[in-house]
């Protein structure tokens, strides 16, 4: 079987999407799982609640898996119809993989927040809801990466199989992926703040609003990355069909 350059780049993009996001999800789940094990050792009845908190950072890995499968299916790699994939599409796939993969490292921050959430929930069952609110905040960075990935795939013809874009567009797509992917690392900082916010709210419920403000400050940098990624796509004419 002869693989074109475009096909090889798509395969690498799929590997980046699932591989890097799995690193983040694995570390995040491990951090939350360590706290969950301690809580369950003290109170076995908290197993269900602890499992919910530990499951939160897994979603980033699921996003990476989803995008990897979409890349392989939409370009025909899984169906054997990938012979005519142009380099521009392969480069775009790299951008897609970078966007989802690196933004998936936000799961590390979510694991930090979830570990604080499960620790507080272990002491006070009424704090579960508030803990979950703080714990889901770092996931927004991964959602931004997922959004950019889907937009890149949709507007470069991956879903339709109609490829008319030059190779330069593929390099621009990598720029979009880098913008939102690395900006998504701000989720780690947000997770640290959110974890502290959970503890502070448990001590004094009246400070929850202020703690949320502190926690969302880190997300502004992810929004910067999302803005630049969209501006790049707009500037090279993806949204206008150019």
Q: Alpha-carbon distance 32 to 21, whole Å?
A: 16
Largest CA distance in the chain: 64
SS3 content of the chain, % helix, strand, coil (to 5): 80, 0, 20
Model confidence at 58, pLDDT cuts 50, 70, 90, reads very high
> What is the model's pLDDT at position 236?
85
- H or E element: which one contains 143? helix 139-155
Q: What is the pLDDT, as a whole number, of residue 37? A: 93
Q: Where are the domains of the chain?
A: 5-235
CA-wise closest residue to 9 among 171, 210, 221, 162: 171
Q: What is the DSSP string of 157-209?
A: TTTTT-----HHHHHHHHHHHHHHHHHTTHHHHHHHHHHHHHHHHHH-GGGHH
When mean pLDDT is compared across 47-51, 70-74, 157-161, the lowest value belongs to: 157-161
Residue 77 confidence class, pLDDT cut points 50, 70, 90: confident
Q: Is the pLDDT of residue 241 over 70?
A: no
Residue 36: the pLDDT is: 93
CA distances from 17 to 62, 132, 220 (A): 10, 26, 23
Average pLDDT over the chain, rounded to an integer: 91
| CA distances in angstroms from 224 to 100, 181, 240, listed in the order given | 16, 11, 22
**What are the residues whose beta carbons fall under 8 Å from the beta carbon of 215, sequence distance 6 or more?**
134, 137, 190, 193, 194, 197
What three-state secondary structure class fits 21? helix
User: Does position 13 have pLDDT exceeding 90, yes or no?
Assistant: yes
Q: Is the pLDDT of residue 2 over 80?
A: no
DSSP per-residue letters across 35-102: HHHHHHHH-GGGHHHHHHHHHTTHHHHHHHHHHHHHHHHHTTTTTT--TT--HHHHHHHHHHHHHHHH
pLDDT at 242: 46
pLDDT per position as a tens digit, 113-129: 999 999 998 888 888 98
Pick the CATH number of 5-235 from 1.10.275.30, 3.40.462.10, 1.25.40.10, 1.20.120.610: 1.20.120.610
Structure confidence at residue 182 as a pLDDT band (50, 70, 90): very high
Query: In 3-state terms, what secondary structure has residue 228?
Result: helix
Spatial distance between the Cα atoms of 39 and 199, rounded to a whole number of angstroms: 15
The model's pTM is 0.91
């Amino acid at each position: 079987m002869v693989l074109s350059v475009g096909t090889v780049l798509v395969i690498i993009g799929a590997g980046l999407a699932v591989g890097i996001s799995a690193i983040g999800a694995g570390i995040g789940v491990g951090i939350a799982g360590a706290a969950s094990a301690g809580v369950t050792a003290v109170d076995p009845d908290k197993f269900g609640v602890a499992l919910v908190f530990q499951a939160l950072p897994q979603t980033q890995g699921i996003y990476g898996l989803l995008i990897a499968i979409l890349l392989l299916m939409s370009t025909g790699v899984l169906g054997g119809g990938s012979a005519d994939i142009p380099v521009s599409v392969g480069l775009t796939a790299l951008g897609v993989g970078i966007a989802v993969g690196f933004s998936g490292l936000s799961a590390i921050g979510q694991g930090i927040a979830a570990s604080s959430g499960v620790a507080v929930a272990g002491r006070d069952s009424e704090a579960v809801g508030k803990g979950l609110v703080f714990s889901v905040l770092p996931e927004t960075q991964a959602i931004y990466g997922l959004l950019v990935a889907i937009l890149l795939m949709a507007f470069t013809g991956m879903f339709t199989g109609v490829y008319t874009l030059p190779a330069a567009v593929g390099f621009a797509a990598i720029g979009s992926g880098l913008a939102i992917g690395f900006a998504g690392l701000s989720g780690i900082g947000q997770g640290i703040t959110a974890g502290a916010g959970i503890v502070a709210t448990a001590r004094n419920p009246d400070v929850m609003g202020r703690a949320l403000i502190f926690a969302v400050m880190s997300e502004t940098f992810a929004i910067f990355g999302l803005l630049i990624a969209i501006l790049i796509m707009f500037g090279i004419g993806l949204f206008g069909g150019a």
